[in-house]
Structure 1
Amino acid sequence: MLDPYLLTVHTLTLRQLGTAEQLAEVTGQPLADVEANLEKAVADGAVLAAKDKFMIGPTGRTQLDEAYPTAFADIRASDAIRDAMDAFESGVNVQILSLTTDWQTKEVGGERVPNDHGDADYDAAIVDKLARVHEKTARVLAPLVAADPLVDRFLDRIGTALTRAEGGETDYVSGVRVDSVHTVWFQMHEHLLRLTGRERPE
């Protein structure tokens, strides 16, 4: 697995611009450790700093590209993980994308129009479906959860977003300014691709 320094740099491939606090939330690392790792990464030229936010630089991407094959060698050699990823891509990931589209738009008179979220029953049905897909995802990704605790953390964060959406905070379905289901799912998917050495499907 990645050492704490490279894990911090890696987090900037999942959240492409973030504060130390936001990066610590993604990985669960102590904030002080993330801050120290970022300070070193900036000095190394691996990470670029803009006031209190950070983004990965070309040197950081090269460091990760060189580290991934060794750090994730066992994961990439696992048949169970390969099968889990196949099931993830062809199943739950497709379902999440479809449900996100259904959340953002709805069919009216045979045409797709923006969802104004005026139909509480329509929205509640989608959140319920998202929760069922979330439960299924935990089963599909079980081999990856066993191999990398960060995968389980992503699933927990998606569960937290769903709880807030169920409580009426609708931004937590697909909002970009909060850790919504869609935002955290995107981060998790990117992490899975980097773990397994796969490309994002078209």
Structure 2
Amino acid sequence: MSHHSGPDLLVPHTLRVLGHASTGQVSSLRSLPAEVVEEALEDARALGQVGRSAFGGSTTWHLTELGRAKGESALAVELDEVGGRAVVEEAHAAFLPLNRRIGTVMTQWQLRPTATDPLAPNDHRDAAHDDAVIRRLGGLVEDLRPVLDRLTGVLQRFDLHQPRLDRALHKAERGSNSRVDSPDVPSLNICWIQLHEDLLATLGIERGKRRPDRLSPRSGRASGGRGPVCLLPPSVTHGTNLIHLMSHGRSKQTDPCAPRTTPVDDT
């Protein structure tokens, strides 16, 4: 039977997955009463594990470094208590080649190299090219489905991801280019990297390391950063370029980790 995480773990962990979120966003995504979410967040804030940010007229919550470390410890305990570590490790191993593929496909969406400019942005005037890329993304979402089925069979909280990916793909197939890679909506790109963050957090793996010395909670984060976790799109984390951010009206100087409301509106 799949394990249902309690609010004390699930609510802060959702902040880890999303980066920033409001009480209402966590409530909606996790199908929890707003008062339950608010209580869990206030309890975590009293322990120094979450913080609040006011930005653009909205208030969101984020994990602190302490919250990140405590969360990883709690996730490791939960994983071992339910006997799911082997399944999650196997699912992560199956996810990695899919993750490499999506980096390539997203680059094909964002760039259309020319003879004079190998980093020329895709102007999306070639419908046949874009349709082919979206079909490849659809194949990736389908290939991911059995992986998520295995994860959800152990930990119910992984049921967050497949419906969001399916909705983003559905909208992209119907002509909404923003649902492919925009950082401002729950696009395929954003939803994919949030799933990746969920896997990394569950196994205590530092981003960018495929085979850590041990799959257990880290005592702290090597970067020494403060405040909320920043989730970059796969095109950036795969080391290609910042065309993703530039194509949405951001220059190379824009800080992609600036506080902002996490895109979780899946309607």
TM-score (norm. length: structure 1) = 0.88
1:13-52 equivalent positions in 2, closer than 5 A: 13-51=16-54, 52=59
Deviations along 1:88-144, one digit per CA (max 9) or x if unpaired, are 11x211111111111111222372311111112211111111111101111234321
The answer for the alignment partner of 1:113 in structure 2 is 120
Matches within 5 A, 1:119-198: 119-198=126-205
The counterpart of 1:75, out of the listed 84, 87, 112, is 84
Moved over 6 A (4+): none
The residue identity in structure 2 corresponding to 1:32 is E
Percent identical among aligned pairs is: 30
Aligned residues: 199
Mark the CA change 1:129 to 1:28 in structure 2 (over 3 Å): closer, same or farther: farther
Query: What 5-or-longer segments of structure 1 have no aligned partner?
Result: none
1:62-99 residue CA offsets vs partner (Å, 9 max, x unmatched): 321331221111222x2x4323321211x211111111
State the shift of 1:25 in Å: 4.1
* 1:31-69 superposed Cα distances (whole Å, 9 cap, x missing partner): 332222223222332211123111112332232133122
The structure carrying a bigger helix percent of its residues is 1
The one-letter amino acid of 1:136's match is D
Per the normalisation by structure 2, the TM-score is: 0.68
- Which of 63, 69, 73 is the aligned partner of 1:56? 63
Q: What is the SS of the residue equivalent to 1:106?
A: coil
Aligned CA-pair RMSD? 2.0
Give the structure, 1 or 2, with the largest relative contact order (CA under 8 Å, sep 6 or more).
Answer: 2
Deviates more, 1:14-23 or 1:28-37: 28-37
The 1:156/1:58 distance shift into structure 2, 3 A limit, reads same
Q: Give unmatched runs, 5+ long, in structure 2.
A: 210-267
